Amino acid sequence: MTARSLIVLIFFSYACVDRLEYDLLKNSGGTGIVVEGFISDSPGPHTVKITRAFPIGKIDSVRAVPFSAEKVTVIDNHGNQAVMTQVAAGIYQTTPNFKGVVNDQYKLRVEFKDATIFESKMDTLFGPDELDSVYFSFSNAPDDSQVPQFVFDVFADATLRGRPAKYFSWSMIGTYKAVTDASCDVNSCNFNYERAVCNWAPLCSGVINVGSTRFPRFERVSPCSCCTCWYQFFNEKPMISSDFALNDVKRLKVGIVPINSFTFTFKTHVEVQLRSLSAQTHFFWKRVIEQKVGAESLFQPVTGKVPTSFNQVAGKPVNISGIFYATSIKKKSFYLTRENIPNPDEMAPKLPTLCLSCLILKPNSTTIKPAFWVD
């Protein structure tokens, strides 16, 4: 029996952020363990995420939930071991001072309480290429329905250093900010167990109902903790070196920034990353792209299962998918503001104050201000 699961790679450290969406076809009845993560030669913490998928309702509907291990360890080719710390359900991180060494090899060992053990293949951390510059241009090219789409195209130039095989990937991460007013969202009970009444306003709004459920009376007791959020968006698919010539890169389009009320009520921070890859990691992402293209095409067949970088070394056989790899990262960033838009009031009118928690306004939200963000 075959099931399709949507696996979202999302790493939670702003020092090394990645998010790639892909379909995995698994002969598992909709169940299996997924391990995702990487280390780089940049300072940590570096993150590994473990989830377990199971079917809900129809066989092609799969839900992934965090899944905790007994022990997660990064091991290098010299025998050095770094035990990762669980920081949330299914989320493991190295210490902040941990970083990989160029030309060393690394693998991940994951041990579960039932004595099931998985190990990834050793992956070489190749040295970085040079990301020379990143820049943008305004575009209003029409979509398939001939309606103009206002975007900024993001480009990069890079110098590729000589090594036996040049494998690398590109990613673009956009970050924008929104401010809401959760205290005026009073359409749901939001039960306050301490006072045994409907609070009506979300508890994170900092406003409490000091009256009754039927006759509420609101007082502010603390600042709102869910009224200012930052959101991220990413490449639609991985970009790897097989997509273009293996020589110095000039004006390579690495992503787009949509121009709308969400991305430009304030501004958008754009970061471009250039990552070195080993041959086996390059092959993994190549197969991911083939799967994605095949799944979206009526005429091109899906090209088989995406490989996993993990092998099971102990325990009852369990389906496992995912990747752990080593990379060197070069990155550059810039801000796009309303001043960069030819007609901002028409193309990106500012959002009104919305009555809801900012955490539910858009996907990939956080109330934690990114370290790079400057108001």
Measured in whole angstroms, the distance separating CA 140 from the mean position of its chain's CA atoms is: 27
CA distance linking residue 34 with residue 32, whole number of Å: 7
Residue 334 has pLDDT above 90, yes or no: yes
pLDDT tens digit sequence for 233-281: 988 777 887 655 566 788 999 999 999 999 999 999 999 999 999 989 9
According to DSSP, residue 209 is labeled E
Most confident of 230-234, 242-246, 320-324: 230-234
pLDDT digits (tens, 9 = 90+) for 90-114: 999 999 999 999 999 999 999 999 8
Residue range 57-88, pLDDT digits in tens: 544 445 668 889 999 999 999 999 999 999 98
Q: Which residues pair with 275 in a beta bridge?
A: 169, 329
For residues 313 and 111, give the distance between their C-alpha atoms in angstroms, rounded to a whole number. 10
Quick one: pLDDT at residue 117?
95
Residue 173 pLDDT more than 90?
yes
How many C-alpha atoms does 160 have within 13 Å on its Cβ side?
Answer: 20
For the chain, the distance separating the N- and C-terminal CA atoms, rounded to the nearest angstrom, is 52
Structure tokens at 232: 């991220």
d(CA 319, CA 220): 50
Strand partners, 93: 47, 85
Q: What is the mean pLDDT of the chain?
A: 83
**Are the C-beta atoms of 197 and 215 separated by less than 8 Å?**
no
As a whole number of angstroms, the distance between CA 221 and CA 205 comes to: 9
